[in-house]
Amino acid sequence: MIDLTGLETRPAQTWGSVRLVPLVRREPILDLRLHAKIYGDELSVVSLPDKTDYWAYVPHAFVASWTGDGTPAAAYGTQIDEPARRMGIRTRRRMARRVDRNRLRFLPMHLAVEGYLALHFNGPEIVWEEWSRRDLSPRVEAVYSGAEISGLADALRVFEIHPGQCGLMIYVADSLAAATVVPHPDDYRALHPTLIHDLYGELIHEYALYHPVRDVPAVLDTSGVASLDDLRAAAERHAREWASFHDTTMAAGMLSSPGRVEEIYRFGPFRLSRFLPRFEPQRENHIGETITSDGGRVAYLKTFRLSQAQIRRGYLLTRLAAHDWHIGRTAAALGTTPEQLGLRLEHAGFGHLLRQHVLDHYRKAAKR
């Protein structure tokens, strides 16, 4: 479970199909601070430890500053590079890199996306006769920047930032698109503009275009209201119920999402990790990354909602790996035939992993 203890929701704000739910800390985290380093528009290439390269649009990096003794840390402030005058390629060293004794630079959301793309990247560990000797390189997934999500830019520009706000849940057509949490309100105010450059999935882009929502009015039971104190109590009760609804119902899919957590970097009393879901088809699945303290308190969080096609790809890969990439045993576990499983792999974009004559056999069997 993702533990958001210490964060409280505030009344939602709706613009078209976009609903923003602020997250407020009563006690900000003082010994960890974040600031953004803004890059230009050119393509980035990140060299990974396994000698592969990760190509992506990386609009900014986050730099975490911390103290080891619990004393307050200071954020350096957002740094803006001069935009590129021509299209080029930027090279980065690693997803997370220590830049000095108490500062760590990492690429927000790309840590999580790279974890998804690296899922069983080398392909079959046992070379059964059905498989070719090709791996999953290159793995490619399409995402949208926040600027392409209809209504998001206006919502982020128009709505107020609450006192003490340290995060935001973004819903599109009342489906959770992404969650962001940072340690300190000053960090959030500095990083709020970067939300428009974050990554969002295909499903969210579609929802924003075709599924507007209506705001939910506050309806109070006035039968027991006889004074201003009664009215105030009823309003406060309604606010608590609405906050609980966002906490336990609308965000339930994200909060219970992690199926596997991988620690990326440990620094001082904090650890930077990324997580993958259990890849459950027809359900809400999120990937994401966190910075947590030794006590498990979430200081930083970013999530990305996968589309159903992305979930199916992750599901097939994890099921194959769980059965040693044996087509027959995997098909039996899924309640299908090897031929049907082979065609599912092809439709998911993994047809190149199968030998051509095996794939042709599966296609002919499906036509009979």
pLDDT score recorded for residue 218 = 63
Task: For residue 263, list its beta bridge partners.
Answer: 273
What is the pLDDT tens value at each position of the chain, 368 positions in all? Answer: 677 888 888 888 888 899 999 999 989 999 999 988 877 666 677 777 777 787 777 888 899 998 876 677 766 554 434 343 333 455 555 778 887 788 898 888 888 998 998 888 888 888 788 998 777 877 888 889 999 999 999 999 999 899 999 999 999 988 889 999 999 999 999 999 999 999 998 889 998 988 776 666 666 677 778 888 888 887 777 777 766 665 555 556 666 656 789 999 999 899 999 999 999 988 889 999 999 988 788 999 999 999 999 999 999 999 999 999 999 999 999 999 999 999 999 999 999 899 999 999 999 888 77
pTM: 0.84
Helix and strand numbers (H, E) in the chain are 10, 19
The b/e string for 211-231 (b: 16+ C-beta within 10 A; e otherwise) is eebeeeeeeeeeeeeeeeeee
Give me 180's structure tokens.
């962001």
Of 114, 211, 90, 197, the C-alpha closest to 153 is 197
Task: For residue 81, list its beta bridge partners.
Answer: none
By the 8 A CB rule, do 61 and 109 touch?
A: no
Task: For residue 64, list its beta bridge partners.
Answer: 34, 104
Give me 163's structure tokens.
């006192």
**∠ CA(259), CA(202), CA(137), 5° rounding?**
65
Task: For residue 265, list its beta bridge partners.
Answer: 272
Q: What is the DSSP letter of 35?
A: E
| Domains of the chain, residue spans | 7-124+137-215+228-308, 326-367
By the 8 A CB rule, do 301 and 104 touch?
A: no
Q: How far apart are CA 350 and CA 364, in angstroms?
A: 18
Question: Beta strands 43-47 and 89-93: pairing type?
Answer: parallel
pLDDT score recorded for residue 139 = 83
Of 146, 167, 157, the C-alpha closest to 251 is 167
By the 8 A CB rule, do 327 and 130 touch?
A: yes
Query: Which secondary-structure segment (H or E) carries 158?
Result: helix 152-158
Give me 32's structure tokens.
């960890």
Half-sphere exposure of 292 (CA within 13 A, CB side): 20
